[in-house]
Amino acid sequence: MRPVYVLSGPNLSRLGTREPDVYGAETLADLAALCREAGRGLGLSVDVRQTDDEAEMISWLHEAADARVPVVLNPAAFTHYSYALRDAIAQRTAPLIEVHISNPAAREEFRHNSVVAGVATGTIAGFGLRSYVLALQAVAELG
């Protein structure tokens, strides 16, 4: 099975309790189980990780680039301001799909800009946790 990293950024450990009207009632554990199950069906070995630490996220992206591992990335708040994360993503050597549970374009104006979108393979947003499944499907199809 082909490896893929599913990386989630700050505050996503709070899924299920953080703004359930925006992010739903499912937890990070539910998300991890969903991604692993979807991955198995797509021939992918899914490694799910979450961090609130920008440096740790960058290290994981470097690790993925060095090993040519595709990434499904929800950069969360880093989306809007982390040029360091953008620079790490620009070094990718395999597909990287940016995902968001909610639709940032339908939310507060500061969420409308993604500094990472320009270096991602593509972006999927607004489909709840299904955004991750759609991104895994894209990774599987991109090869």
Annotated active-site residue in 5, 23, 62, 83: 23
pLDDT for 137? 98
| Residue 65 pLDDT > 90 | yes
CA of residue 7 relative to chain centroid, distance = 5
Q: Each residue of 91-128: pLDDT tens digit?
A: 999 999 999 998 776 566 766 688 999 999 999 999 99
pLDDT tens-digit readout, 13-52 = 887 777 666 556 778 999 999 999 999 999 999 999 999 9
Residue 23 annotated as catalytic: yes
Is 97 within any annotated ligand binding site? no
Structure confidence at residue 13 (pLDDT): 85
81: confidence class by pLDDT, cuts 50, 70, 90: confident
Task: Provide the terminal-to-terminal Cα distance of the chain, rounded to the nearest Å.
Answer: 12
- The answer to whether 8 is a known ligand-binding residue is no
Domain span at residue 32 reads 2-142
The model's pTM:
0.91
- The verdict on whether residue 124 carries a ligand-binding annotation is no
Q: How many domains is the chain built from?
A: 1
pLDDT for the residue 102: 82
Give the separation between CA 36 and CA 44, rounded to whole angstroms. Answer: 8
pLDDT computed for residue 39 by the predictor: 98
Residue 44, domain CATH: 3.40.50.9100
Phi-psi region of 68 (alpha: psi -120 to 50; beta: other; left: phi over 0): left
Query: Of 5, 100, 112, 132, which one is the catalytic site residue?
Result: 100
Whether residue 87 has pLDDT greater than 80: yes
- Helical H segments across the chain, by residue range: 20-23, 28-42, 54-67, 83-89, 130-142
How far is residue 94's CA from residue 81's CA, in Å, rounded to a whole number?
23
Known catalytic residue at 100: yes
Residue 111 annotated as binding site: yes
Phi, psi of 6, deg, nearest 5:
-115, 110
